[in-house]
Each structure stands twice: as C-alpha cells, then as structure tokens.
Amino acid sequence: TIDKDDIDGIFNPTEGTIFYEASVTDLTNDNQPIVAFRNTLNTSEEYHAMGHAIGGSVGTVRAWSKDASANNVHLTSHSGLVAGNPYKHMYGYKYNDYSDAFTQGATSAQTNTTSGNHAMLTAGVINELRFGGYYSAPEGAYRLDAGHIKRFSYWPTKMSNNQIKTYVS
C-alpha cells in the first residue's frame, strides 16, 4: 500500500489514467484486484479499482469506479482472460468520460461510458493506493490470490479513448 502522505499531490480526483500489466494464475475466485485507489474511511464508496472479476464474473478483467455517493460511474467487464498469461489493462476517468481497454494476446476490448451528472471525487478523499487488494479492510477477503503485477503507471490527466486503446495494444 501507499498511504495518503505519499499520494497527496499525485492523485487527481477529477481526472486521471491508470495502467497495469499483470497476470492472474488462479481464475477460480472472483474479486482479485490488481490495483485500487481507495478511501479507507468508507470502504464501499469512493474508489477506482481494476483487476480480475472485480465485482464478480470469474474469467473477466474489470474496472469499477464509484463516486462519493456510491454510484457506479464506470463498471465494465471484458471476457476472455486466460490464467497465467500476461495482459494489459488501462482505465481513464474524467467527468462524464470514462474508458478502459484490455489486451491479452489476440483478445482485446474497450468500453467507453458516460456517467451522467455524478460528481467527481473530492480532493483528499482518496487516501490509499493498494496493490493486490481493495474495498474491504486491508487484510480482507478481496485480494489477489495468485498472480504477478509486472508494471503500474498513473497519469494525473485522462488520456483520450483512442490513446487508451492504442496503449494496451
């Protein structure tokens, strides 16, 4: 984990782009996060989470974002994840403009959504960057069971939908 003192001034609550390259070796369990920006004071709201079957659907790569009122503002699911094989996943957020893309071998997908009139997160609400866990208490049930996180990057601006799709290809 990286806590508030180290992510303040880096994390942008109004827009950003998150990228990781990883592999998940055990696809039998859902909710295996790779990375999440989260609020440890309110674990069911206010986060950006990415990984294997976040929110269910074993064998999928998902991105899940909630606003301060617990509204799902971006929840996507890309099928075709193969256990043990490296894949790339990228997610960008900005008011009413969300996009994520996934590539593993010949499988690739992108989802672009609008969120309607949902407020973006407030500065200072996100107080942790967690690798391999999200949503629940630090040692909670939602963690990466088996896999490898090869690379992680974060930009404090949202890349265009086309840039996101191209970056993971």
Place of tokens 């806590």: 3
Give the start-end residues of each E strand in the chain.
2-3, 15-24, 32-38, 47-52, 60-66, 72-79, 87-94, 97-104, 107-113, 128-131, 147-155
pLDDT at position 102 is 96
| β-strands 15-24, 72-79 pairing | unpaired
CB atoms within 10 A of CB 32: 25
pTM for the whole structure: 0.93
Q: Which residues in the chain come in under a pLDDT of 50?
A: none
pLDDT at position 5 is 87
User: How confident is the model over 35-46, as pLDDT tens digits?
Assistant: 999 888 887 777
pLDDT at position 139 is 58
User: How confident is the model over 56-78, as pLDDT tens digits?
Assistant: 789 999 999 988 788 888 889 99
CA–CA separation, 13 and 99 (whole Å): 16
CA–CA separation, 28 and 52 (whole Å): 10
pLDDT at position 92 is 96
CA–CA separation, 145 and 142 (whole Å): 9
* Residue 46 token pair: 């206010």
Of 157, 65, 71, 161, the closest CA to residue 111 belongs to: 161
